[in-house]
Structure 1
Amino acid sequence: MAPQGTINKNIEAILQLEEDDERQLPLLHRVSHKVGWFIGTTSFVIIEAAFVVIWLVLNVVSARPFDPYPFPLLSVVLSFEAVFLTSFVLIRQNTMDRQSQRRNHLDLQINLLAEKEATSVLKALHDIAAHFHIQLSADGQSKELAQDTPVDRIAQDLRSKEKQN
């Protein structure tokens, strides 16, 4: 298990990367993210429902309604709002997709480094065992694991299997 200091350092590094990503966005983009986030909350649903109810009450109870039944102006306002809110959500989603893609690339790089390190350790273990004339497992798997992993071949195999499905 990793020491707590290392874990905290890694968490802080990840949070710093995310803060840097957020700071690099233009102001309008950051505002659209905040709006996109707010749209997905119950507070927004409550505010939206209250807005519609107040609109309806003002137009049903009033002697001189500004938007009489069937409330065409309300329909236009809500349609206009839907277009903008959808755009805000899509902008936020696109940014989240880019962040996810960067994280996936980072994960892949870390996994490849870990694979290389594990292979190096296994090679060293085999060398030490050979030096001291120690017989390792006879199943052959440890020798196979001590070989460099052909990432490009694995990727090609994966692509060909995906095409078959």
Structure 2
Amino acid sequence: MAQQLSSGPEPQPQSQMTGIVERNIKALLERRRQEKKAKSVENRIADAITRFTGSMAFVYIHLVLFGLWIVWNLGWLGLKPFDPTFVVLAMEASVEAIFLSTFVLISQNRMTAQADKRADLDLQVSLLTEHEVTRLVKMVSEIAKKMNIEEAYDPEIKELEKDVQPEKVLDTMEEQQIKKGLQNKKEGT
């Protein structure tokens, strides 16, 4: 009897991994919804203003308003200029820039705080993962030794079995940055 060749992989039922990914996505979306709901009125206003001022609609409105202001005050509309030296226009634009930059900074500060929280979460997950992998390396190494597998005696395995100490990694990174900074000063860059 001839064996049938399949044209592709068999359809698989939804894997447990897919369920975990979906759960994580839902949890993250729920967290974002909660954070959005918990934002203060001031932050909501700052975000709305920042969102609007970062849009093309804002640019178009300013093109029309400033264009009309300039054309009017150049006398091209046949109307009496109300700001012939454009001092009022410059002052208005300066005050607007002050307020807009403040709103942008408020939004950026909040976004930085959120990014810091996410970075802390990433670090915690990475440290937990590293700890779990270290334990797995130890376990597999012991199994390999019992089975008398040559690779179990590789000196690199002993190094991989050690837990990473984050404070030492950070210290090493800082030392390297200091050395690089001193080297750049020496080279004049």
> Which bracket does the TM-score occupy, shorter chain normalised?
0.7 to 0.9
Which amino acid letter does the alignment assign opposite residue 39 of structure 2?
A: L
* Pair 1:2–1:137, CA change in 2 (3 A): farther
Q: Determine the structure 1 residue equivalent to 2:178.
A: 163
Q: 1:27 aligns with which of 16, 33, 41?
A: 41
Give the TM-score taking structure 1 as reference length: 0.87
What is the CA distance between 1:138 and its match in structure 2?
4.4
* Pair 1:96–1:2, CA change in 2 (3 A): farther
Give the TM-score taking structure 2 as reference length: 0.77
Q: Determine the structure 1 residue equivalent to 2:62.
A: 48
* Pair 1:2–1:74, CA change in 2 (3 A): farther
Cα separation, 2, equivalents of 1:143 and 1:72: 74
Task: Give the number of equivalent residue pairs.
Answer: 164
Q: Which runs of 5+ in 2 are unaligned?
A: 1-14, 181-189
* Pair 1:151–1:63, CA change in 2 (3 A): closer
What is the CA distance between 1:117 and its match in structure 2?
0.8
* Pair 1:23–1:62, CA change in 2 (3 A): farther
Cα separation, 2, equivalents of 1:125 and 1:52: 71
CA deviations over 1:28-71 (Å, ceiling 9, x no partner): 11110121122222222122111211223344325333x23122
Q: Determine the structure 2 residue equivalent to 1:122.
A: 137
| Identity value in percent | 30
- In the alignment, is residue 142 of structure 1 matched against residue 128 of structure 2? no
Cα separation, 2, equivalents of 1:139 and 1:131: 15
Which amino acid letter does the alignment assign opposite residue 68 of structure 2?
A: I
What is the CA distance between 1:109 and its match in structure 2?
0.5
Q: Determine the structure 1 residue equivalent to 2:79.
A: 63
What is the CA distance between 1:152 and its match in structure 2?
1.9
Relative contact order, CA 8 A, sep 6+: which one is greater? Answer: 1
What is the CA distance between 1:24 and its match in structure 2?
2.0
How do residues 12-23 of structure 1 correspond to structure 2 at under 5 angstroms?
A: 12-23=26-37
Cα separation, 1, equivalents of 2:67 and 2:99: 21
**Cα RMSD between the aligned structures?**
2.1
